[in-house]
């Protein structure tokens, strides 16, 4: 509502002049800002609906542009060379774009424009392959089972270690204090 009011006043030269002069909005203008107003319709009048074609057109104009180049460099610096995060943060980037993004970054490193972060220049093949597996699963529209499997294995290792630690604590606490012998038996004597 506040944005609607501000826009209504600032977009109309007459209202803006009154507001600049008096610092208030007239009462009859308050009526158009009533709560029952369909704000979705109001904003649709101000801003057009974005279509899939609009997004595709943006992607075409964005890729290989100066803006993308600046965004890639900024992501590289922000994430200190972590390609996983770079690939997730740059607009319109898919896994197939990774070689192109790597060339952009490597060119900037070679020219001295960007620092050489180890996360980028010494990225392991294992990390690259893990990223490729995640993306290939996602692109096929299925949950990445390899990711869930590795997560499950990691959790199982953690649980096993916790259990081992727990058992070691119990053994330390109760294992050394156990007394030898069992039940005490009484000898039956003559009465």
Q: What is the pLDDT of residues 166-180, one digit of tens each?
A: 888 888 888 765 455
Instruction: Please check whether residue 70 lies inside any domain of the structure.
Output: yes
Record the tokens describing residue 93, joined without a space. 């980037």
Q: Which domain covers residue 157, as residue numbers?
A: 124-169
- pLDDT at residue 186 tops 60: no
Highest mean pLDDT among 35-39, 125-129, 166-170, 176-180: 125-129
The alpha carbon dihedral of 168, 170, 173, 178 has a sign of negative
Q: What is the distance between the alpha carbons of residues 8 and 168, in angstroms, rounded to a whole number?
A: 71
Instruction: Please check whether residue 178 lies inside any domain of the structure.
Output: no
pLDDT of residue 144: 43
Instruction: Please check whether residue 180 lies inside any domain of the structure.
Output: no
Tally of structural domains, the chain: 3
Helix, strand, or coil here: 116?
Answer: coil
Closest Cα partner for 105 from 65, 60, 63, 74? 74
Record the tokens describing residue 57, joined without a space. 């057109």
pLDDT of residue 110: 96
Residue that terminates a domain, selected from 117, 135, 158: 117
The reply to whether 110 and 145 lie within a common domain is no
The reply to whether 76 and 96 lie within a common domain is yes
The reply to whether 61 and 99 lie within a common domain is yes
- Answer yes or no: are the C-beta atoms of 76 and 120 closer than 8 Å: yes
The reply to whether 39 and 58 lie within a common domain is no
Instruction: Please check whether residue 42 lies inside any domain of the structure.
Output: yes
pTM above 0.85, yes or no: no
The reply to whether 14 and 38 lie within a common domain is yes
Instruction: Please check whether residue 183 lies inside any domain of the structure.
Output: no
Instruction: Please check whether residue 179 lies inside any domain of the structure.
Output: no
The reply to whether 101 and 80 lie within a common domain is yes
Q: What is the distance between the alpha carbons of residues 59 and 52, in angstroms, rounded to a whole number?
A: 11
């Amino acid at each position: 509502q506040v944005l609607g009011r501000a826009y209504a006043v600032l977009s109309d030269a007459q209202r803006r002049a009154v507001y600049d002069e008096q610092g208030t909005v007239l009462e009859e203008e308050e009526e158009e800002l009533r709560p029952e107003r369909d704000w979705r319709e109001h904003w649709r009048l101000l801003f057009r609906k974005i279509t899939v074609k609009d997004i595709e057109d943006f992607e075409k104009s964005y890729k290989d542009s100066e803006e993308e180049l600046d965004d890639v460099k900024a992501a590289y610096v922000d994430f200190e060379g972590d390609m996983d995060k770079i690939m997730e943060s740059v607009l319109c980037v898919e896994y197939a774009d990774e070689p192109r993004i790597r060339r952009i970054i490597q060119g900037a490193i070679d020219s001295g424009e960007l620092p050489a972060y180890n996360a980028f220049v010494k990225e392991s093949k294992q990390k690259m392959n893990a990223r490729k597996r995640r993306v290939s699963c996602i692109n096929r529209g299925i949950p990445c089972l390899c990711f869930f499997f590795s997560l499950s294995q990691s959790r199982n290792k953690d649980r096993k270690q916790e259990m081992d630690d727990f058992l070691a604590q119990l053994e330390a606490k109760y294992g050394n204090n156990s007394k030898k012998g069992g039940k005490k038996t009484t000898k039956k004597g003559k009465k």
